[in-house]
């Protein structure tokens, strides 16, 4: 990212953010549910990890249809999580340690239990009727009542719910208990700004992760979505409600009236926006809409084209080219980007992008940490990612899943399979197995199992309740937990701390540097370089995705090559031997993980010019990794 625009130093650019899912982070009172008072007990842990920004997912008053994304009162805390006083104590605890705190801003919709919606649905002439989106029914030629559009809900079924009392439909892009607000109404917007933003900013909150940030401006025509699956009535309708005509106007107004007056950070959830030029319209510093966005092409890899939970195999060039596109789109502009591969809506990155096999999972987690730390933008870590937590086991029954999206999809997909394949038991079972496997890879509950603090029963130190937590803890918590890794110098946790220190130490290179992909079409290796725009620093990241040794050329940048990091125990010695035998720019051999070897992080910090080298190796269903970090000086 070329100066001067993107090189402007701002706290939210250089900070490392850590997302907390309250229900699953830490239970303080033994009821089996994570809560707000449990978080301050771990703030020092986060500080030691290298976290600068704590992001707390929804903790507002809510019926919990969608784990708090259905908010019934923006100005209150969900009682089982705690109180306003508990939230203030958490804000203060973060600030006392020099950390910021941001909250989720869920303002595309509310809960149907919100006082605003109760008034809106009470009668057609209620002053708040237009605060939500109401439409009359359509009717088929035979008189059958039809919803206003054929849009499909993100949680299966349609997006319109019939209200018998007022004889109209209301819009809900998500669950029927989550009606969409009408942003076209100025009074609605003012109420949103006061209740969901000013209320918390005045209490010291430093910003927001903005949910569904491009869905507020629905197109006025409310047209049917294009038919992509002729077997069902409901169709993906995002072309009719995402990135609507007034979307940028609304965000500018939100900043002018509220956010810009507090120096607040915003990171928008921005789905359905594949054009980098369009994304830039949201994140230009001068336009003052959003600080940055989560662009989801990377975490969407492997998802089905029309149904998220229909896993599709993918090849390495897809990942490489996706990373390159969203690293490079802000270069030379005043825009900003993010680096992430996990959140509360995704499967665990080790399981999705690497290997969670017992011999490989720690090395996989280290590799992904090294890869992310070399990427430009604000880095986001999701709870448990720092210790390499993995997806739930494939043998968990479907009734262990709690997520409404997952449960609804499985019910719908199973019913469809029964209807079409009941005459072929083998095909029916194969379809059900495929759906379950897809959920096991992509399901949101993979990220929502309780945090694994130690090896104690019944729930890995997450709760003291004898019956365990609100959700089953991962079976592998005795092996993957914070306490164990705190005692191991070569653990994933230790690796993560070192990588974050290195990233901050060389911010010009890793946070602000330009990205260049060297091998976009190869299926075995992933080679990219980072170059600083204000110094002569450079880095090269080499990843081996094959089952055998791969020889790669380090990009020629001049100067002498110096080793910094490696995840083999003997990485330093091996690299020194290679350097003695080969001059700068000649090939380096990236080894597969063999025999009893264990990957480790070894750090030597050298001034100015750096090269990152990492490798991944895959053998059948087993994937293993190695990696090392080099530096050159000029």
pLDDT for residue 65:
98
pLDDT band at 354 (very low <50, low <70, confident <90, very high): confident
Segment 507-547, tens digit of pLDDT: 999 999 999 998 899 887 888 888 888 888 888 777 776 65
Mean pLDDT, the chain, integer:
88
Pair 163, 217 in one domain: no
d(CA 21, CA 68): 10
Q: E-assigned strands of 141-244?
A: 145-146, 160-163, 168-171, 207-210
Question: Which residue in 61, 206, 211, 452 is the catalytic one?
Answer: 211
Would you state the pLDDT for residue 523?
86
Examine residue 47 and state whether it is found in any structural domain, yes or no.
yes
Same domain, 529 and 558: yes
| Residue tagged active-site, from 35, 180, 269, 445 | 269
The pLDDT of residue 614 is above 80: no
Q: What is the pLDDT of residue 306?
A: 79
Residues 271 and 327 in one domain: yes
482 and 605 assigned to the same domain: no
Query: Does residue 400 have an active-site annotation?
Result: no
* Number of domains making up the chain: 3
CB 40, CB 88: distance < 8 Å: no
Going by DSSP bridges, is the β-strand pair 138-139/145-146 parallel, antiparallel, or unpaired? antiparallel
* Residue 449, in any domain of the structure: yes
Of the chain, the percentage scoring pLDDT greater than 70 comes to 85
Domain assignment present for 34: yes
Question: Domain of 153?
Answer: 115-171
Q: What is the pLDDT of residue 555?
A: 63
Residue 571 has pLDDT above 60, yes or no: no
Catalytic site includes residue 269: yes
Do 193 and 148 lie in one domain? The reply is no
Are 126 and 228 part of one and the same domain? no
Q: Say whether pLDDT at 597 is over 60.
A: no
CATH of the domain at 205: 3.20.20.80
Q: Do residues 133 and 263 share a domain?
A: no
Q: Are 496 and 372 in contact (CB under 8 A)?
A: no
Q: What is the pTM of this model?
A: 0.91
- Tens-digit pLDDT profile for residues 313-334: 999 899 999 999 999 999 999 9
Residue 578 falls inside a structural domain: yes
What is the torsion angle, in degrees rounded to the nearest 10, for the CA atoms of residue 85, residue 86, residue 88 and residue 93? 140
Same structural domain, 91 and 15: yes
pLDDT category at 8 given cuts 50, 70, 90 is confident
Whole-number pLDDT of residue 624: 32
Is residue 478 in a domain?
A: yes
Q: What is the pLDDT of residue 214?
A: 98
Q: Report the range of poorest mean pLDDT among 46-60, 170-184, 192-206, 575-589.
A: 575-589
Judgement on whether residues 371 and 268 belong to the same structural domain of the protein: yes
Residue 79 falls inside a structural domain: yes
The reported pLDDT for the residue numbered 633 is: 35
Give the integer Cα–Cα distance in Å for 164 and 604: 69
Q: How far apart are CA 365 and CA 342, in angstroms?
A: 12
In a shared domain, residues 151 and 74: no
pLDDT value, residue 525: 81
278 vs 556, residue with greater confidence: 278
Nearest to 291 by CA among 237, 321, 336: 336
Task: Please say if the pLDDT value at position 309 is more than 70.
Answer: yes
Using DSSP, state whether 423 is helix, strand or coil: coil
pLDDT (0 to 100) of residue 524? 79
Residue 177 located in a structural domain: no
Same domain, 464 and 599: no
Is the predicted pLDDT of residue 75 greater than 60, yes or no?
A: yes
For residues 96-104, give the mean pLDDT: 99
- In this predicted structure, the answer to whether residue 125 has a pLDDT above a threshold of 60 is yes
Residue 335 has pLDDT above 70, yes or no: yes
State whether the Cα torsion 141-145-148-154 is positive or negative: negative
Q: Which of 157-161, 218-222, 545-549, 586-590 has the lowest mean pLDDT?
A: 586-590
Shared domain check, 449 and 316: yes
Within a domain: 506: no
| Contact yes or no for 370/625 (Cβ under 8 A) | no
């Amino acid at each position: 990212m070329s100066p001067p625009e993107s090189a402007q130093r701002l706290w939210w650019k250089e900070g490392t953010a850590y997302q907390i899912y309250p229900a699953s982070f830490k239970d303080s009172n033994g009821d089996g549910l994570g809560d707000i008072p449990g978080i301050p007990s771990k703030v020092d842990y986060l500080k030691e990890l290298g976290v600068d920004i704590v992001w707390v997912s929804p903790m507002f008053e809510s019926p919990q249809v969608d784990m708090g994304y259905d908010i019934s009162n923006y100005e209150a805390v969900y009682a089982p999580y705690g109180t306003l006083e508990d939230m203030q104590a958490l804000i203060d605890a973060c600030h006392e340690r020099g950390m910021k705190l941001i909250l989720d801003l869920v303002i595309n919709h509310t809960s149907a239990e919100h006082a605003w919606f109760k008034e809106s649905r009470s009668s057609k002439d209620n002053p708040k009727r237009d605060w939500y989106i109401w439409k009359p029914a359509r009717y088929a030629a035979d008189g059958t009542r039809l919803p206003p559009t054929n849009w499909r809900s993100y949680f299966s079924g349609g997006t319109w719910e019939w209200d018998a009392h007022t004889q109209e439909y209301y819009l809900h892009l998500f669950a029927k208990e989550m009606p969409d607000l009408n942003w076209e109404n100025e009074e609605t917007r003012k109420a949103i700004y006061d209740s969901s933003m000013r209320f918390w900013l005045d209490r010291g909150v430093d910003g927001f992760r903005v949910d569904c940030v491009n869905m507020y401006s629905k197109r006025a025509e409310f047209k049917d979505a294009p038919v992509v699956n002729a077997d069902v009535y409901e169709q993906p309708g995002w072309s009719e409600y995402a990135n609507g005509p007034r979307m940028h106007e609304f965000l500018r107004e939100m900043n002018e009236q509220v956010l810009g007056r507090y120096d607040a950070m915003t990171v928008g959830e921005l789905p359905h926006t594949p054009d980098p030029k369009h994304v830039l319209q949201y994140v230009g510093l001068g336009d003052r809409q959003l600080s940055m966005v989560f662009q989801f092409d990377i975490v969407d890899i492997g998802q089905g084209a029309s149904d998220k939970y229909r896993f599709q195999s993918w090849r390495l060039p897809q990942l490489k080219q996706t990373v390159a596109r969203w690293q490079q789109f802000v270069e030379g502009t005043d825009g900003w980007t993010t680096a992430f591969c996990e959140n509360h809506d995704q499967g665990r990155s080790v399981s999705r992008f690497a290997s969670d096999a017992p011999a490989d999972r720690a090395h996989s987690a280290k590799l992904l940490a090294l890869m992310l730390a070399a990427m430009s933008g604000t880095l986001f870590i999701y709870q448990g990612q720092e210790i390499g937590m993995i997806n739930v086991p494939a043998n968990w029954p479907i009734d262990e899943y709690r997520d409404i999206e997952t449960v609804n999809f499985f019910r719908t997909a199973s019913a469809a399979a029964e209807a079409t394949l009941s005459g072929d038991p083998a095909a029916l079972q194969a379809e059900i197995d495929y759906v379950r496997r897809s959920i096991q890879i992509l399901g949101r509950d993979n990220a929502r199992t309780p945090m694994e603090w130690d090896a104690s029963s019944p729930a890995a130190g997450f709760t003291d309740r004898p019956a365990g937590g609100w959700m089953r803890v991962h079976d592998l918590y005795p092996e993957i937990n914070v306490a164990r890794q705190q005692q191991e110098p070569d653990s994933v946790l230790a690796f993560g701390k070192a990588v974050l220190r290195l990233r901050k130490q060389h911010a010009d290179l890793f946070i602000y540097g330009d990205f260049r992909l060297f091998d976009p079409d190869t299926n075995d290796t992933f080679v990219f370089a980072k170059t600083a725009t204000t110094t002569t620093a450079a880095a090269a990241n080499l990843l081996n995705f094959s089952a055998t040794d791969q020889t790669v050329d380090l990009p020629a940048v001049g100067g002498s090559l110096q080793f910094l990091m490696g995840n083999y125990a003997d990485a330093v010695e091996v690299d020194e031997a290679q350097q003695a035998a080969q001059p700068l720019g000649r090939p380096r051999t990236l080894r597969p993980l063999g025999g009893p070897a264990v990957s480790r992080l070894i750090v030597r910090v050298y001034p100015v010019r750096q090269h990152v080298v990492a490798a991944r190796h895959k053998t059948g269903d087993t994937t293993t990794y190695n990696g090392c970090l080099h530096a050159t000086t000029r």
